Amino acid sequence: MAESVAIFAGGCFWCLEPVFSQLQGVKQVVSGYIGGDIPNPSYEDVCTGATGHAEAIKIVFDPAVIDYAILLEVFFLAHDPTTLNRQGHDIGTQYRSAVFCQDSAQQASLTNMLETFATENTFSKPVVTEMHMGGEFYPAEQYHQQYYAQHANQPYCLAVAAPKIAKIRAQYGARIKAE
C-alpha cells in the first residue's frame, strides 16, 4: 500500500494535528518545523521568529483512502488563510499559513484550489497562504507530539483546537475514524 506525505502550516501545530489525526486514511501526523534557515531548530529557536521556520504538521496518508485535495479542503477549513503571520492570538511568522508541496501534482492541486478561491470569492479577504516546493521538515520535541490527545482539557486546547476538531467533524463526518 502506497503512502503519501502532505505538509501544512496553519498556526499552532497543537491545533492542526488533532484535526487531521481524526480522518480516515491518515496514518500519522507529526508536529514539527519547516521553511527556515537553520537545521534541527528547537521550539525555543522557532518561537523567536528569527529562524524562518513555521510550526507545521507532516501528514502520512493513504491516497487510496483520502485524496490530497480533501486534505487541502480540511486545511483551509481548519484555519484562517487570510491572516498574515497569525492565527488567533498566535502571532509571528512561525504561525503563517503555508503549504509545502511534495510534488508537482500537489502543487497543481493547490494552485487550482487557490484559483477557485479567488474566482469564487470564497473568503472575504485575499488568501495569504504561501506555496513552497519541498523543504526539510524537522519533527518537534516529543512533548509536542499528539499534544491534544494528552491535554484535551488544557484551556488553550479547549478554546482553539476543540472547535476546529468539531468543525471538521461536522463537515466531514463520513471521513472521521471510528472511535
Closest CA to 127 of 74, 79, 57, 70: 79
Residue reference for cell 537553520: 38
- How many CA atoms lie within 13 Å of 140's alpha carbon, on the beta-carbon side? 26
Distance of alpha carbon 165 from alpha carbon 174, whole angstroms: 14
Q: Say if CB 33 and CB 41 are below 8 A apart.
A: yes
Q: Indicate which residue of 12, 15, 101, 157 is catalytic.
A: 12
Do 47 and 94 touch, CB atoms closer than 8 A?
yes
Are 144 and 43 spatial neighbours (Cβ–Cβ below 8 Å)? yes
Residue 12 bears catalytic tag: yes
As a whole number of angstroms, the distance between CA 3 and CA 17 comes to: 18
Residues assigned a catalytic role:
12
